[in-house]
Amino acid sequence: MNGPQPLTVTGLTVRFAGLTALDGVGFTVAPGTVHALIGPNGAGKSTCFNVLSGVYRATSGSVRLGGRELTRETPHAIASLGVARTFQNLALSAHSTVADTLLLGRHRLTRSGILASGLRLPRAAREAGRHTERMREIAAFLGLEPYLDAPAGLLPYGVQKLVELGRALCMEPDVLLLDEPIAGMNPTERQHTAALIASVRDSLGLSVLLVEHDMGVVMRLADTVTVLDFGRKIAEGTPGEVQNDPEVVRAYLGEHQETETPR
Amino acid sequence: MSERLTSRLGWLLGGVVLLAMPFYLERFWLQAGVFAMAAAIGAIGLNLLTGSAGQLSLAHAFFLAVGAYGYCVFAGDSGSATGLTGWGLPPVLAAVLAVALAGAVGGLFSPIAGRVRGPYLGIATLALIFIGQHVLLNAHDLTGGFNGRAVPPLSVFGFAFDDSATVVAGVPFRSMEKLWYLGLALLAAGALFARGVLRGRPGRAINAIRDHQTAAGVIGIPVARTRGAIFVLSSMYAGLAGVLLALAFQHAVPGYFGIVLSLEYLAMIVIGGLGTVSGAVIGAAFVTLIPQVLTKYSESLPLVSAPGTGGVAPGEASRYLYGAAVVAAVLFLPGGLARLPVPRWARKGARDKAPAPTSRNMEVST
Amino acid sequence: SGKADDSDGGSGGEGGDGVATDIGVTDDTITLGALTDMTGPYATLGASVTQAQQLWVKQTNEAGGICDRRIELEVRDHAYDAEQAVSAYTELTPRVLAFPQFIGSPYVVAVKDRVDGQDHVLITPQAWSASLLGSEYIHMVGPTYDIETVNAVSYLAEEYGLSEGDSIGHVFFEGDYGENALEGSRYAAGELGLTVEEQRIRPTDEDMTAQVTALAREGVSAIVVSAGPRQAASVAGVAAASGLEVPIIGNNSAFAPQILETDAAPALLASYHVASPGLPIGADEGAVPDLAEAYTAEYPDALLDNGVVAGYNSISLVGRAIETACEAGDLTRQGVADAMATLTAEDDGFGAVHDFSDPANPSTLASYILRPDESAPGGLVVEREAAASDLAQSFPRE
Amino acid sequence: MTAAVLRVRGLCVDYGPVRALTGVDVEVPDGAVTAVLGANGAGKSTLLRAVSGTLRFHGGAVTEGSVALGEDRLHGVAPARIVAAGVVQVPEGRQVFARMTVADNLRAGALGARGGRAAVRAALKRVHELFPVLAERAHQRAGLLSGGEQQMLAMGRALMAGPRLLLLDEPSLGLSPLMTTRIARTVREINAQGTSVLLVEQNAALALKLASTACVLENGRVALAGDADELAASDEVRRRYLGVADEDAATETGAAVAAGTARPALSRWSA
Amino acid sequence: MTAFLEYLVHGLSLGAVYALIALGFVIIFKSTEVVNFAHASLLLAGGYIAVRAQESVGFWAALLAGVAGAATLGALLEWAVIRRYRGADHSVLAIVTIGIDIVLLTELARRIGPDILTYDDPWGDALVTVGSVTVPQTRVAAFVTAALLIGLFLAAFRWTSWGVAMRAAAENRETAALMGIRLGRVSSSAWAVAGALAAVAALFLSVFPTSGLDRATGEVALAAFPAAIIGGLDSTTGALVGGLTVGVTEALTTGYAAELDFLGNGFGHIAPYVVMVLVLLARPAGLFGTRELSRV
Ligand SMILES: Nc1ncnc2c1ncn2[C@@H]1O[C@H](COP(=O)(O)OP(=O)(O)OP(=O)(O)O)[C@@H](O)[C@H]1O
Ligand SMILES: Nc1ncnc2c1ncn2[C@@H]1O[C@H](COP(=O)(O)OP(=O)(O)OP(=O)(O)O)[C@@H](O)[C@H]1O
Ligand SMILES: [Mg+2]
Ligand SMILES: [Mg+2]
């Protein structure tokens, strides 16, 4: 852990049978900033996340974190470099408690294996104690304390989204990849969550790569925005620049956002 | 009285009763008890794999065989009196090596166990049973073929677990009395170990892999390695169970380690309750003891008739019973027998979490 | 504790009549044990043997018992499961004088050390594998599979003029029945200058087409079947259908009357033989007709098959050992085992004469050759009287 | 007021010991769009499950109250019969059949269709017009579609049945602004063609624009109900669900968080 | 060479019977995601009912009765057990079918006892000779029947609403219900079909060259496990290919047992499993099975 490093994506291409999901995409996430990745449905945003986190293999191109090439690494190796992510569709165990789910995030930071846990070595107990404490800190920060003993799968959608965020934070990441973190929340909850994201960026100094369709939140949070369409980068810049880019308006935002007149 | 105190007392009482058994029970019951303890150890291992990691395995009988025969070979006479291979190692070392061997063989199968999931793995492991039977019948030098080979008695620092009588408090202690204590000790150790694993970091990791394989990788869990490790651990439990069973049998026969045995272990963990240590123990006791009890008391049970008199034979009755128990446990007691409303202290599983797995091992999505 | 004074159960000492006793004998009863398979793969055999033995017990008690004591037979069904077989043995051993029935040779082998070392209990198993030889307490009634197969091959050679250079096929079960029989056919073939084409099968293999085709390809002039009745029927049926007209001979276990009702019946009647330690249940000699009649009267719905003779024979020989022991005033287990060894020329009434004095050899080396006959009860009639072939007598035993 | 297609009266729903809905009354007037708003966990999805008869898949059950479609009772009726009666739901979280192709997903949607073959063919044409991507990807496995594409498929699949009453659970979840507008237009169109709609939506602004009547659920009870316009004008709704008045408050909170006053900011972990 | 052809033909015809059993498996798996360990007893039940019925009605009517009986039994099991399971873990259901199998098999074995039950089938031990190769008529009948039935179900799965409903129900019961699919009907129809197929297989397993139906006949159904896996558990084509593969492998390894002796005596018995493991190593979902998807 020698401070956040830039995440650089260059010429990233991903092909599935007969379909190019990403086509030579490149951008850089500067340390300590929020970088938004937007674009129409099916533009390749989640695919990009999947490559960054090692779930998909890139057909060509490179992803570098500082000096480290990530495209050949396994998911858990990438996680161990300090890259954490949330999932567009929830990936929580239905019956695990929230506490266990959050502790899962600390897997990469802890050591006790089968032998140590099975034999309950003092080392394992000490480790568990320290990490549970930090887990509670993070839960308190997110307002998840009341839910710690509840099974994650039965919670309301919005809370589950927060649990996912908490699990990613528990990994103590340098780079946080958030795939639609506030989808399914109402405006109040959205603002609350957006504030939390801004807060961790500031207090932990980590880099955030954010996929989100709520333009209000993107505008407020993002330092830089990259826009994808059909796997290709069509625009990049500050939120203000991007929002007025005619190409972006055509492909993504729609000509006039207020097409519907109130009745 | 506080609940904690009640619970302590309950455990104490149960422990004392178990420890006193060899002074009162005849060999038949002790032997049944040792079988049940061995089965419980094996079932705990299978429950780690199937209940917690969500991997169906039909190969458990195979790993039991590896443990049992491994022990025979390692501890067997090195002389050629029997015409069988034996390394003549000290029995304790042989037992440890046999468990390790089961783990190693499990490790060899890990590439498949890691690649193949769900029902495919279940049936793929069936291959191990059949290949295992083939080897057991053909590798005469190691296994003694169809009629099997004798199991050298265990001895710890010159104290032999054989049929020579050591008199304790006026009671002659022969092999079963001694094995009873050995079984208790191994079962307790195995159960505590498994609970430690399940509640700790590895337990969380295997649950995560079961529910969301891809996500687990992204969270930083090495999926293949963890799954392989749990397969190895489960094989080692089976190996240990195999050693204990062999010691109780005093003779290992290949026919025992067939598909039926594997199916019985699956039945145990479902009857007892998937994913919990106590469930495995309760299920193992149920499945092992039912046929013994029914056979022994066949004359005095109303529905069961003595062999040769027509009607339902005890063997059949016990199969009806345990087949029906599997179905009933799943339909009416989703947590298995371990979740029955019994006093808290008697319910070891009350605090082991890891409830029955429910999500399918498939993720798809957006 | 209740266990303290107890040396493995039973009532040691001397009966009121001055006969020494230890386990399984009281002043008025003698308890025998039967470890059988009534619900597993050998259920057919188990049912016949058990019922025949229960019949013997009934007859014996009606005739006043043995040594002025009633006989009781405790039956335990182990379903051919190792755990249950060993448990049942453990349960009954502290209470019985002898085991006139024990099905499942692996389990007999499994308890052999306990029998020889501490239990000293007489067992007449219903399995005829040579691996059970060598114990002074375990006595097979009849020839071992290897001897039976030697007799069968010798018969084929004599009757069908097999000569040096010919080959015979041997279809056998994996496991000790088949493999022990294979040793017999290999030995006989070696002595006669024949070659053996081996086809190993499993009890679950029921279609013998591939095996018979392979044997036909090798041009065998006869086939030996050391498997179950169904496999024998399939071998005969397929061979006949595909034009392989060679004699087929099976071990005693490779026949059941039911197979004469299958499609293979004509083929079986034409070319099949069975080597058997005793007379068929349908025979008109010795004690057989009485047994057949009594058995049918007792169990009108039951099948008459060779298990009936085997079961009845074992228990009546054990009964004779007990009688002998009683006369010698020693009804202890050791006494009964010793008495068994004194039976050296025992005509069992079913066509065989047994000698139990040598633990290293089976009680007889002779086999009948039988052939299927639909009209006979039990489906078999004698083709050739009992004889021990020269090869059987020279069969080496280490 | 026109007759209601759907009438929910005094509905109580329990998930085992957990009570999710208490005495809920909701009506969907014939030919109207009714919106249901509420925070996370308010019970919106539970309401739709109760109408579709799928509570039992979640271990839940209706304990009191009634659900009626026109004159017919719906509670206690098998889900398939409810679909046959014309009530079709687009469930929360897409729930496409991941291993089936897009085309087969649409065929599955038509299984409960009321019309004949011709109607199904027409419906398919219509769906392909609305969501061209579904025609392009007809032979791709649905599980490999992107999130938004799956949402379109879920919507298209429901339309295949030619519903009389459409239940939508957060149809705009994960859709781009452009696509959200298109969904809104679609809802309006099918509504114009005579399908009534019960719409659960986090995007309250959109929902209130589409709906003629609306209600707000809070902790399993109906807190507010009435005309959509009226609700849209109410302070309560504006503040809590439209986020309008809250804009400033949110920036304040954000600043407060950054300054570490209002709530404890997270500090870096040092091992 | 003739011998080889003969083994091959024999293997194919035996494989056709395996394919019928495997097809039943596959249909149950496709529609309910359950690995049905009770298939062996379903098969035995079908055969038993048919043979018993034959005593009073003729062969064809009895066969029909067996098929209907096994179908009813299958549907009944689905209704009484499978449908009532509330969890979502399909491996638990697989274990439940083990329980069902134990009960059914015990009951059937008790009823059948030591008997060998035979069919009065129209084929007897007649043979068909083509060139240098002879095959029993029964096996030709089995092959034709299997090919027809498998073709039929392939089409049904692909083209009928029944097939779509079945796949949808297997994947997500709740959503399938939301599509108006009658879950109960769909899955019990699958179990019924599997039962019917098993009864047909039972017939071909107990006529010439086999000597009849007995309590152990069901164990042959075990051969269908590797068959179903080799083909891919959710593929009807796979069932056919897998069945034939197992049949041919068995026939060839048995026929050339002498030449394969170095692999241990009786290698033929495990050869299908060895093939299965090799196939799984190369294709974890079998030759025609649907690969598991993984997207997040
Ligand atoms: N494993 C895969 N196999 C085949 N096609 C895929 C796969 N993963 C993604 N795709 C396709 O690649 C395209 C990009 O998908 P992706 O999930 O990256 O979109 P997205 O930008 O995240 O969209 P959304 O905003 O709707 O989530 C889509 O058309 C999708 O169908
Ligand atoms: N299967 C279940 N078991 C127990 N409680 C449940 C279950 N499903 C939902 N609940 C509870 O019922 C309440 C209502 O949930 P519901 O899903 O209906 O909310 P919602 O309004 O749809 O929320 P969201 O906006 O997050 O989708 C919540 O408190 C939730 O925790
Ligand atoms: Mg996406
Ligand atoms: Mg909801």
Residue B165's pLDDT is what? 72
Spatial strand order of the sheet with C330-331 comes to C13-14, C20-21, C330-331
In this structure, is residue E231 part of a structural domain? no
Residues D171-195, mean pLDDT to the nearest whole number: 87
> Tell me, what's the pLDDT at C53?
95
pLDDT tens-place values along chain B, 366 residues long: 566 778 788 888 888 888 877 777 888 899 899 999 999 999 999 999 988 888 888 999 999 999 999 999 999 887 666 678 888 888 899 999 999 999 999 999 887 877 777 778 888 888 899 999 889 988 888 888 888 888 888 888 777 777 777 777 777 777 788 889 999 999 999 999 999 998 889 999 998 988 888 889 999 999 888 888 999 999 999 999 999 999 998 889 998 999 889 989 998 998 888 888 888 899 999 888 888 888 787 766 665 565 555 567 777 888 888 888 888 888 887 666 766 554 333 333 333 333 333 333 333 333
Phi, psi of C369 (to 5 degrees): -110, 125
Q: Out of 3.40.630.30, 3.40.50.720, 3.60.150.10, 3.40.50.300, which CATH number does the structure's domain D4-86+163-259 have?
A: 3.40.50.300
CB contact under 8 A, E217 and C213: no
Q: Where are the alpha helices (DSSP H) in chain E?
A: 2-32, 39-54, 59-80, 90-112, 137-159, 161-171, 173-178, 183-206, 224-231, 236-255, 271-282
Q: How many whole angstroms from D24 Cα to the centroid of ligand 2? A: 15
CA distance D219 to C257: 77
B338-363 pLDDT, tens per residue? Answer: 665 543 333 333 333 333 333 333 33
In a domain? residue E291: no
List of residues 6+ apart from C367 with CB closer than 8 A: C143, C147, C148, C151, C152, C275, C276, C277, C386, C387, C388, C392
Which residue in C262, C269, C271 has the most chain E C-beta atoms within 10 A of its own C-beta, making it the best mutation to test that interface?
A: C262
Count of structural domains within chain E: 1
Q: Which residue of A has its CA nearest to E294?
A: A55
pLDDT at D255 > cutoff 60: no
Q: Is E275 contained in some domain?
A: no
Q: Are E43 and E172 in contact (CB under 8 A)?
A: no
A/E Cβ contact: 3+ pairs below 8 Å: yes
B32 touches chain C (CB under 8 A): yes
Q: Is the CB of D146 under 6 A from ligand 1?
A: yes
Predicted confidence at residue C1, as pLDDT, reads 45
For residue B216, the domain's CATH number is 1.10.3470
Ligand 2 probe mutation, A154, A159, A182, most atoms within 8 A of CB:
A154
Segment E269-279 shows an average pLDDT of: 89
Edge-to-edge strands, sheet with C98-102: C70-77, C29-36, C98-102, C122-123
Neighbours of D114 (CB within 10 A): 14
- List, as one string, the DSSP characters of C185-239: HHHHHHHHT-EEEEEEE-TT----HHHHHHHHHTT-SEEEEES-HHHHHHHHHHH
Residue in chain B lying closest to C131 (CA): B147
DSSP secondary structure code for residue B52 in this structure: I
pTM: 0.88
Instruction: Provide mean pLDDT across the span D98-124.
Output: 87
Return the pLDDT at C366.
93
What is the separation of C-alpha B7 from the centre of its chain, rounded to a whole number of angstroms? 26
Instruction: List pLDDT tens digits, range C107-118.
Output: 998 898 889 988
How many CA atoms are closer than 13 Å to the CA of D111, on its beta-carbon side? 29
Nearest C-alpha in B relative to E85:
B331
C-beta atoms of C110 and B249 within 8 A: yes
Q: Which residue's C-alpha comes closest to atom 17 of ligand 1? A: D146
- Both tokens of A86, joined, read 């949330």
Interval C340-359: pLDDT, tens: 999 988 888 888 889 999 99
**Taking CB atoms and an 8 Å limit, are E211 and C39 in contact across chains?**
no
This complex has an ipTM of 0.87
Which of residues E37 and E170 earns the better pLDDT score? E37
Over residues C299-319, the pLDDT tens digits come to 888 888 888 999 999 999 999
Q: What are the C-alpha distances in Å from B294 to residues A19, B317, B320, C88?
A: 65, 8, 12, 11
- Residue D192, chain A, CB below 8 Å: the answer is no
Which of chain B's residues have a Cβ under 8 Å away from the Cβ of C31?
none
Q: How many Å apart are CA E246 and CA E16, to the nearest integer?
A: 10
CB proximity D143 to B under 8 Å: yes
Average pLDDT, stretch E90-114?
Answer: 88
Asked if residue B68 is part of any domain, the answer here is yes
Q: What's chain C's average pLDDT? A: 89
Mean residue pLDDT of chain D comes to: 84
| D210-236 pLDDT tens trace | 999 999 998 889 988 889 888 888 877
Task: Copy the structure tokens of residue B5.
Answer: 């105190």
Ligand 2 atom at minimum distance from D217 CA: 21
User: A43 in ligand 1 pocket by Cβ < 6 Å?
Assistant: yes
Between chains, do E295 and A50 touch, taking CB under 8 Å as contact? yes
Lowest mean pLDDT among B153-157, B351-355, D56-60, D250-254: B351-355
Chains C and B are in contact, defined as 3 or more C-beta pairs closer than 8 angstroms = yes
Is the confidence at residue C17, as pLDDT, over 80? no
Question: Is the backbone peptide bond immediately before C277 cis, with ω within 30 degrees of 0?
Answer: no
Q: Is the pLDDT of residue E60 over 80?
A: yes
The structure tokens listed for C332 are 């202890």
What is the helix (H) or strand (E) element at residue E127, kind and residue range? strand E127-130
Q: Percentage of chain C surpassing pLDDT 90?
A: 57
Q: pLDDT value at position C5?
A: 44
DSSP code per residue over E214-283: -TTGGGGGGGHHHHHHHH-TT-HHHHHHHHHHHHHHHHHHHHTTTTTGGG-TTGGGTHHHHHHHHHHHH-
Query: Minimal Cα distance from B365: which residue of D?
Result: D143
Q: Which of A9, A38, A45 to mutate to test the pocket of ligand 1 (most atoms within 8 A of CB)?
A: A45
CA D222, D227, D231, D232: dihedral to nearest 10 degrees?
140
pLDDT exceeds 70 at position C92: yes
Delimit the CATH 3.40.50.300 region(s) of chain D: 4-86+163-259
pLDDT band at C398 (very low <50, low <70, confident <90, very high): low
Query: Does D240 contact ligand 2 (Cβ within 6 A)?
Result: no
Q: Do A76 and B220 touch (CB under 8 A)?
A: yes
pLDDT band at C396 (very low <50, low <70, confident <90, very high): confident
Hey, what's the torsion of the CAs at B183, B184, B189, B193, to 10 degrees? 90
* Pairing label, strands A83-85, A68-69: unpaired
Residues of chain A with pLDDT under 70: 1-3, 255-263
> Do B204 and A107 make contact, defined as CB atoms within 8 angstroms?
yes
Cβ(A75) to ligand 1 under 6 A? no
Please give the tally of structural domains in chain B.
Answer: 1
From the CA of E30, how far away is ligand 3's center (Å)? 29
E212-232 per-position pLDDT tens digit: 888 888 888 888 889 998 998
**Residue E268: pLDDT band by 50, 70, 90 thresholds?**
confident
CB-based contact, B199 to chain A, within 8 Å: yes
* Predicted pLDDT at C40: 81
Rounded to whole angstroms, how far apart are CA atoms B45 and E27? 32
Chain A to chain B, count of Cβ pairs less than 8 Å apart? Answer: 116
- Between CA A111 and CA A117, with CA A112 as vertex, the angle to 5 degrees is 170
Q: Length of chain E in residues, anyone? A: 296
The CATH superfamily of A7-94+172-253 is P-loop containing nucleotide triphosphate hydrolases (3.40.50.300)
CA A187/CA A210 separation, integer angstroms: 18
> What is chain A's alpha carbon radius of gyration, rounded to the nearest angstrom?
19
Q: Kindly state the percentage of chain D with pLDDT values over 70.
A: 90
89-148 in chain C: CB under 8 A from chain B:
90-91, 94, 105-107, 109-114, 117-118, 129, 131
Confidence of residue D253 (pLDDT cuts 50, 70, 90): very low
Between D50 and B55, whose confidence is greater? D50
> What does the pLDDT read at residue B316?
81
